[in-house]
Structure 1
């Protein structure tokens, strides 16, 4: 918080004949900070909101390996088609399917010299966005049962247009105003006007599935997929999202009673 400070006249550019003097334009932003008749208070507003997730994202990788390039490509294409067919069975429960990185590369013989190829390795990464959280565990299990398919992680998240984002921003603004009023009241003054409001951004808690066990459980399903004809569906509990927002604000207040 800035406090009022006394300042005298000068013959410089901010003196009587300068732009900030009686003959100048009198731009409020050009006035010295802490002018006795317009003291300012600068505060930071913060807010944290916890909410139930609205969507889940599954990271799935399909792989293929073969002695020749064509065979590896054919296997990769077939397995990726099986994955997409399975995911599409869930209809409207799946909101979006996005294919990510695709790699097909030769693997060189480490024991020999030159460019002797011993095999070809291919992989397709797919992100599946699920709107019906009740089917996430079942879908992750069925994906992990597919041939040479790995479920890397499950992320719980909010949609970009979720009303939670609006709520946390408004709470941060109210927090800044509350702080400014408390500072003003401590000086026997009151907040009179808003000068500036700057959004520092909003941060959602990082995806936690991999860190808290969701990803590990999905990989365990992949590792045990060949031990039984049908694996039991994973029981995944959606984790609440924590959203944080912060703003900086500047206000003017009435002259304090010191």
Structure 2
């Protein structure tokens, strides 16, 4: 069947002698500073009476929330995750007897000011029965770093195709296809390993002086992008 504008016929992925194709891959790897840091906060309480345990847990949860909120714009997001209150049963004796009640609330805070992050983590870890995990460093999903990596990968693909064409003594004529393979942070939260984990003193410990703020060194983020590109070129003289 003769090709027409309405029916152009089957594609020729490998080109033709009159319009040879070049298929290349462009890659980019950027190393940039993180934009956000996330920490996990676990507030706990324990008591022989359920009501007392809940009251203590509520008070400590409020204290932790109020402390985080004092950092204002440095905290981009503050969320409450899971809450639990569970009885601890005695291991010996007849029947089921409750020995104590354990309560926990998990919070997540996301910060953009890393100087405030060091101070906040220290102050949180100094609270009674409060543990801190993290930080997990990351880029925002719409970070300009992802765009820069994709653009660099495209430029690298064009440059590579031109070099192949020049090796054949010819030039590129048109772009036929550009396919995005991957452009992502290779260590996004929550898979990145935390840089520290702290636990506060117990409720029965003597209150020490306020600990100095942690000096945290942000973990550099790696951003990759890959594209496949196909070009046509003028027929070379072989």
TM-score calculated relative to the size of structure 1: 0.78
In 1, Cα distance between equivalents of 2:151 and 2:118: 35
SS at match of 1:39: strand
Pick from 24, 30, 38: which aligns with 1:43?
A: 24
In 2, Cα distance between equivalents of 1:98 and 1:150: 16
Residue 233 of structure 1 is matched in structure 2 by: 213
Q: CA deviation at 1:186?
A: 2.0
Equivalent residue runs for 1:1-258 within 5 Å: 17=1, 21-22=2-3, 25=6, 27=8, 30-31=11-12, 33-111=14-92, 116-206=97-187, 214-216=195-197, 219=198, 222=200, 226=205, 228-258=208-238
SS at match of 2:19: coil
Please identify which structure carries the higher helix content: 1
In 2, Cα distance between equivalents of 1:24 and 1:134: 63
Q: 4+ residue runs of structure 1 moved beyond 6 angstroms?
A: 208-213
Does the Cα contact within 8 Å between 1:209 and 1:215 map onto a contact in 2?
no
Higher RCO structure (Cα 8 Å, ≥6 apart)? 2
Q: CA deviation at 1:79?
A: 0.9
Q: Which runs of 5+ in 2 are unaligned?
A: none
Q: Higher mean Cα deviation, 111-120 or 139-148?
A: 111-120
RMSD of Structure 2 on Structure 1 (CA): 3.0
Size of the aligned set, in residue pairs, is: 236
Q: CA deviation at 1:141?
A: 0.1
Residue 208 to residue 96, structure 1, CA distance change in 2 (3 Å): closer
Q: CA deviation at 1:235?
A: 1.2
Residue 232 to residue 195, structure 1, CA distance change in 2 (3 Å): same
Cα displacement string for residues 161-208 of structure 1 (whole angstroms, at most 9, x for unaligned residues): 322221111111111111121222222232222222222232214269
Please identify which structure carries the higher strand content: 2
In 2, Cα distance between equivalents of 1:201 and 1:230: 46
SS at match of 1:27: coil
In 1, Cα distance between equivalents of 2:236 and 2:75: 59
Does the Cα contact within 8 Å between 2:128 and 2:202 map onto a contact in 1?
no
